[in-house]
Amino acid sequence: MEKITECKVIDRSILILDIFAARARTAEAKLQVELAQMQYTYPRLTRMWSHLDTVAGSSGAIGTRGPGEKQLETDRRLVQKRVSILKGRIDKVDKRKERLASSRKHFTVSLVGYTNAGKSTLLNALTSTETLSANMLFATLDTKTSMWKLEKNHDVLLSDTVGFVRDLPHHLVASFRATLEEAIHANLLLHVVDTSHHQVELQIEAVNKVLEEIGCKDKDQLVVFNKADRAESKSRQSLFETLYPDSIFVSAKSGLGLDKLTQAVKDKFTGERVCVRIDYPQANGRIPNFVRANGDIVSEVYEDSRVILEAYLGKQQIPDLVKLQPTSYEVIS
């Protein structure tokens, strides 16, 4: 084909790798791109370098290759050595990220989705940051993490990740595991979908397949249909609402539905709201401060040096309440 067209002919994997290489900015992203390139190149050396498959060296002189050693074999050893070095460096990055993730005390949310679904634009809209967002494939290769203020004292960490793609080569998934580490350790995944795309179902399936490969299949996930203002028709949106009843429709650019998304994540963060009756000494001012910051007070009754307070809190917040040492508490509804 190259001879006929007089153009360079590449396969799909090489195209993806070339785009990745052009987008890589940080040292970590460049390491991952190089590893993926090396792993792709190694099994294809015979075809790519057949003109080097000649005997290099005819004597066994000290300091030279032995008789019969081929240039192709030398290339293979060099590639293997480089792959080993790159894997070692990326393994250090993985361990550092694991330590960082385990040390975080915040609830963590990770944006995942097909490339060009609008994840970076959504991150910018929710956190008022200025992450690069562009109408192009794989605009984000490096994980970006920002603080997202939901309400009152409810802050979560929101991370953007590399966009997924259908039939992503396995070696690419393995190489970019460090970049996807945020998704692996997240408490909640926001699966961002481009509502206006004509192959929505295929893209959702492709993302779920990659999530399964990296061990995130059973992680708590919320489907977010982005670009809802560009949907082809109302009937199409109604279909998605039927197929994904817990999904949320938003537009990161116009702000449509972002309040609903924020509330949905807050509900995931705090858990189901329950009414709690708390008995505590008046001297313990931390408890009413905590309840006012994180819930809604229904009633307060003062009896001598005690206070009996009823309030709505999220189930996930009760362990934090217990740490403040109330005299007693009970969930009443």
What's the angle, vertex CA 23, arms to CA 212 and CA 86, rounded to 5? 65
Closest CA to 312 of 298, 300, 329, 326: 298
**pTM tops 0.75, yes or no:** no
pLDDT in tens, the chain (333 residues): 888 988 888 888 788 778 777 767 777 777 877 888 888 877 776 555 444 444 444 444 444 454 445 677 777 888 888 888 888 887 887 777 666 666 566 788 999 988 888 898 899 899 887 765 555 555 555 667 888 988 766 788 898 877 777 776 666 666 566 567 778 888 899 999 999 888 999 999 988 988 888 888 889 999 999 998 887 667 888 889 899 999 999 999 999 999 999 989 988 888 878 999 999 999 999 999 988 888 889 999 999 899 999 999 888 889 889 999 999 999 988
**Residue 277 CA to chain centroid, in angstroms?**
38
Look-up of token digits 């970006």: 144
- Give the side-chain half-sphere CA count within 13 A for 62: 0
Question: For residue 309, which of 321, 297, 327, 320 has the smallest C-alpha distance?
Answer: 297
Tell me if 190 sits within 8 A of 222, measured CB to CB. Answer: yes
DSSP string, 60-110: --TTSPPTT-BHHHHHHHHHHHHHHHHHHHHHHHHHHHHHHHHH--SEEEE
